[in-house]
Structure formats: C-alpha cells, structure tokens
Amino acid sequence: MSDPFAPDAATLAGQNADIYFTRSRQILEAEGLDPAVVMEFFARQRAKLCGMREAHALLRQVLPRAAQVWSLEEGDWIAPKEVALRVRAPYKSFGLYETALLGMLSSGTGWATAAAACAEAAGGIPVISFGARHVHPLVSSRMEYAAMVGGCRGCATPAGAELGGTEASGTLPHALILIFGDTVEAVRAFDRHMDPAVRRIALVDTFRDEAEESLRVAAALGERLWGVRLDTPSERGRVTPELVKEVRARLDQAGYSQVRIAVSGGLDPERIRCFCQEGAPVDVFGVGSAISGAPPIDFTADIKEVDGKPLAKRGRIPGIQENPSLQRIEL
C-alpha cells in the first residue's frame, strides 16, 4: 500500500528546492566530496508539531539504509529551539531536500498550532476544519490533516479526512439552497438522495430568520435531523451567543431538543472563547481561515557535525544538542 505522505516527483527531483542546494550538490559531486553530517531541525517558539510524517516519508525514500534519524512525534508540543528532527547521513543523500523538509514542518506546525488554539478555546466542544477553500488545492489535504493533528475532530474534504483516518464532515452549501429556492426543499432533497449514514445538518441562514428556518427544517425531517448550522454573514451581524441561545430555546420549546447547533463564520480562538464564556449552547464549531490562514512556524536546519567533528555556524553551539524525547525512526 502506498504511503499517502510520500513526496511527489517534483520534490524528489529537487524542483521545489532552493537553487543553492542544487548547485551545492553539483559542486560536491565535481569535487568528489560527500561527508557524513548531522543536521538538526528546530523552531524558535512553542508549537504543536506537525509535518513529521511527511518528513519521514521523504527521508525513507532518499537516505541510505545506514543513515540514522531521530525525531519527536507528530502532535508533540515543542519548546523553543528544541531539536525536533535529527538526521545523520551523507550530505548528498538529503541536503537537496532541506527546503522541502523545512516547508513540511513549518507549514504543518503552523496550521496545527492554530488548530490547537481553537480547540483549547472550545473547551471540549468539537471543532471542525472548514478552511480548505482558503488554500491552494495542492496543499489543502495537508492543511486539513494538520488541523486534526492540532485538535480538530474532523475536516471538510475527503482527501484531508483520508490522511486523518476519518470521514469528511459537512452540511449543504448556500448554492444548493439558492438553486432550490427554499431551505426546506433543499434539505428534503438532501435527505432523499444522501446515504442515511450521512448526518443531516441544515444550513439555516440563507432566506429567513435562523430560528424560524431551524423550526421549519426540524418539522420537515423530524428525528432524522442531526443539527442546524448557523453561518450568518457579517453583513447581518454574524452569529452571536444571543442568537444561538434563541435558536436553542425555540427548538427545545417545539420539542426538538435532539437537534444540535453548529456555528461557523469568521471564528477564531477569541470568538470561540466568547461563545463559551457567555454560555452559548454550541455543539460544534466550524473554523476556516483562523487555521488555514495561520502563518507557518519557522523551522531552522543546522549542520552540527561534519565527519564526526562538532561544527556549527557562528551563533550556534557545535555538536548535537541532546534531547531525550527524540525517538529513533526506522528507515
């Protein structure tokens, strides 16, 4: 079975490597040099580590069997300047891939750390990643996976869900409701044609008041309705704790206490915390750009030994930096 985290052909060919690594390899080949080096990777801030499965998959393809790799585990919290990955191998076998390894760790860790902040703010209420639409499709699955490493309970895309070992989550889009011209009609069509195993979650902010629309879809689907999603746009004041409380009260009064409430639209840790502090009865948060738009956590890679001799650039301490949490990785 192929590894879903395996690097693509462009990465293996060095097409997305900084050109000076390509030129360095050419020079070393011409000079007949290929020293054994130790390279260590670290970040400068506390963060939720992600991207390590991709890094392992790349290293397994390019390193010789005698090489040695140690790393922290996917999802570990890392301290500032803590060594997260150490590679001991001939430089030419992996030097070309420094750009890719740093990019995997930086992007994945940035997304995972942002997701962890959202999950912490939610205090146990599930958070679903809805941010695939805010990143390039070639990296959206990696972002969704990183969000789940960070603490999201699910994501919106099948590709991301596959990496995370789960099923994609979602309701139905405004587009479908607009095409049908009525929320209830769109939800009924969804109910007719989707597998019963798919949760029936109705988006209720397209045409009418959210509370009114929630009652209409609850009456239409009855026990089959898993929940409603509030996604009120900023032009209408966004979703507020007061709105969630009203929708909950009206559903309960009408006998639909089993219907859950999902909230989305411009959520970030601060807004999530506000909902929780004000006691809004939210069952699920859907978070988009607060995770997908998170900046990468910068990683640095340093050579610390060359042919067994401790060596480092100015400002760094020569020799390996001990970290008892590192685990040896099988290649």
SS (H, E, C) the chain: CCCCCCCCHHHHCCCCCCHHHHHHHHHHHHHCCCCEEEEEEEECCCEECCCHHHHHHHHHHHCCCCCEEEECCCCCEECCCCEEEEEEEEHHHHHHHHHHHHHHHHHHHHHHHHHHHHHHHHCCCCEEECHHHHCCCCCHHHHHHHHHHHCCCEECCHHHHHHHCCCCCCCCCHHHHHHHCCHHHHHHHHHHHCCCCCCEEEECCCCCCHHHHHHHHHHHHHHHEEEEEECCCHHHCCCCHHHHHHHHHHHHHCCCCCCEEEEECCCCHHHHHHHHHCCCCCCEEEECHHHHCCCCCCEEEEEEEECCEECCCCCCCCCCCCCCCCEEECC
Is 1's pLDDT higher than 70? Answer: no
Stretch 73-96: mean pLDDT: 98
**Distant-in-sequence contacts of 243-250, Cβ < 8 A, 24+ apart:** 243/210, 243/211, 244/275, 244/280, 244/281, 244/282, 245/279, 245/280, 245/281, 246/211, 247/204, 247/210, 247/211, 247/214, 248/281, 250/211, 250/214, 250/215
Stretch 252-264: mean pLDDT: 97
pLDDT at 148: 98
Is 323's pLDDT higher than 70? Answer: yes
Percent of the chain beyond pLDDT 70? 100
Give the C-alpha separation, 158 to 145, whole Å.
11
Stretch 293-314: mean pLDDT: 96
Q: How far is CA 170 from CA 147, 156, 242, 261, 298, in A?
A: 16, 6, 24, 13, 32
Lowest mean pLDDT among 16-25, 223-232, 264-273, 312-321: 312-321
Stretch 74-93: mean pLDDT: 98
pLDDT at 71: 98
pLDDT at 274: 97
Give the model confidence (pLDDT) of 227-251 as tens digits.
Answer: 999 999 989 989 999 999 999 999 9
pLDDT at 171: 85
Stretch 48-70: mean pLDDT: 97
The backbone torsions φ and ψ at residue 97, rounded to the nearest 5 degrees and listed phi first, read -100, 15
* Domain over 9-109+296-329 is classified CATH 3.20.140.10: yes
Confidence of residue 331 (pLDDT cuts 50, 70, 90): confident
Is 153's pLDDT higher than 80? Answer: yes
Stretch 143-147: mean pLDDT: 98
Stretch 199-227: mean pLDDT: 96
Lowest mean pLDDT among 122-126, 135-139, 167-171: 167-171
Give the model confidence (pLDDT) of 121-130 as tens digits.
Answer: 999 999 999 9
* Domain over 112-292 is classified CATH 3.10.20.600: no
Please state, rounded to an integer, the average pLDDT across all residues of the chain. 96
Numbered ranges of CATH 3.20.20.70 in the chain: 112-292
Output the pTM of the full model.
0.95
Numbered ranges of CATH 3.20.140.10 in the chain: 9-109+296-329
